[in-house]
Amino acid sequence: MKAAYVENGEMRSGVLPDPVPGEGQVLVRTHRCGLCASDLHFLKGGRNVIELSQKLGGPYALLDFEKPFVPGHEYVGEVIDHGPGCEKRVKTGRKVTSVPVMTAGGTYEIIGYSHQCPGGFGELMLLDEAQLIEVPYLFDDDHAACIEPLAVGLEHARRGRPDRNDVALVLGCGAIGLGVVAGLKLLGVERIVAADFNAHRRDMAIRMGAHVALDPRETSPYGPLSDLGGRQANLIYENVGLPGMLEQIIEGAPMHGRIVMGGYCMEQEHLFTFTAQNKCLNVQFAMGEEPQDMELALRAIGDGRIDVSPWIGAKVGVSGVADAMAAMADPSSPIRTVVDPRLD
């Protein structure tokens, strides 16, 4: 199959062996797959992640960074075959997505970060039949590729146990932060503040449902906000993933504030617990979506409650993945570039 793959820390494209479905696995032809910032982060820091997983435990422990693996975990595709033992509840020819994990056969792999389970930057994928979510035939493929990143934001939003009377602050307005904004709006939160250095992303946050969008270089997002009657954010979502963010939030948060850490920081974080204890803060770490979040994302995009069309930028084949991934370092780049492996 044609694929864009990582080998020895470099993004390449070429031909790799076709995957063969095993027990409980489904073979899928990829239609679209979104480029995620975590793919870029892993390209730069994957060795560290693998070493940490080997030392502390984690699903990346079996990955060899020197050997080819196909990233891509924001996908939609068409079922073309079933492995042994499948119930075949989703017929061939149907479109599907899934939470990007493989548990069939007693293993646990992250799709796109595995030598056994190639991701959506290739023509063919293996998915876990038990994880499949059927996507309606007329559902736009570009929009379907946004189901997974939106679902992550929806999961983060609910982890904060938001109340309509909270003042919610969303730090970082990439895809996950925008998903948090959309999730908070779905949950009826009446005061949503977004903060990002980039004007385009602030505009996107307003389109997704934020009531106020701030440049933190000009206005502290932690202080009383005149646009909200002088109220201060009490529910803070971190979606940046840089060291120092948690300490900064703890210093800025109010008494009895709630903090949800969604940013994926791959460096050690310094934490002065004295301040957090004195403020009686609650810190919740969020990781990834669950099936309920995927289902909600699919329904909300499908019925128009969440419009992801402004997220979509360029469309590339596998030969364009390396350049598109490099361009993601620019915060003015589209929220999502999508890969269609059938283009090349």
One domain, residues 138 and 179: no
Is residue 74 a contact partner of residue 148, using CB atoms and an 8 Å limit?
yes
Confidence (pLDDT) at 62: 87
Q: Are residues 162 and 260 in the same domain?
A: yes
Interval 148-170: pLDDT, tens: 999 999 999 999 999 999 999 99
Alpha-carbon radius of gyration of the chain: 20
pLDDT tens-digit readout, 205-251: 999 999 999 999 999 999 999 989 999 999 999 999 888 999 999 99
pLDDT of 266 above 80? no
> Which among 69, 73, 78, 77 is positioned nearest to 12, based on CA atoms?
69
Q: Is the pLDDT of residue 9 over 80?
A: yes
Looking at every residue in the chain, the average pLDDT score rounds to 94
Whether residue 185 lies inside any domain: the answer is yes
User: Domain limits at 232?
Assistant: 153-285
Residue 200 confidence (pLDDT): 95
Q: If pLDDT is split at 50, 70 and 90, which confidence band does 120 have?
A: very high
pLDDT at 344: 80
Domain boundary among the residues 254, 270, 285 is at: 285
In a domain, 295, yes or no: no
pLDDT of residue 29: 98
CB-based burial of residue 75 (10 Å sphere; 0-12 exposed, 13-18 middle, 19+ buried)?
A: buried
User: pTM (2 decimals)?
Assistant: 0.95
Phi, psi of 73 (to 5 degrees): -125, 10
50 lies in a domain?
Answer: yes
Tens digits of residue pLDDT in 35-78:
998 888 888 888 888 888 888 888 888 899 999 999 999 999 99
Residue 135, domain CATH: 3.90.180.10
Q: How many separate domains does the chain show?
A: 2
Q: Is 263 exposed, middle or buried (0-12, 13-18, 19+ CB in 10 A)?
A: buried
The more confident residue out of 3 and 59 is 3
**Is 296 among the domain residues?**
no
pLDDT surpasses 80 at 267: no
Output the pLDDT for position 289: 94
Maximum Cα–Cα distance across the chain? 62
Q: 131 and 172 share a domain? A: no
Q: Which amino acid is at 312?
A: I
Asked if the model's pLDDT at residue 331 lies above 90, the reply is: no
Residues 112 and 27 in one domain: yes
Position 57 scores a pLDDT of: 82
Task: Output the domain CATH number for residue 278.
Answer: 3.40.50.720
pLDDT for 136 equals 97
Together in a domain, 230 and 323: no
pLDDT the model gives residue 307: 97
- Residue 302 included in any domain: no
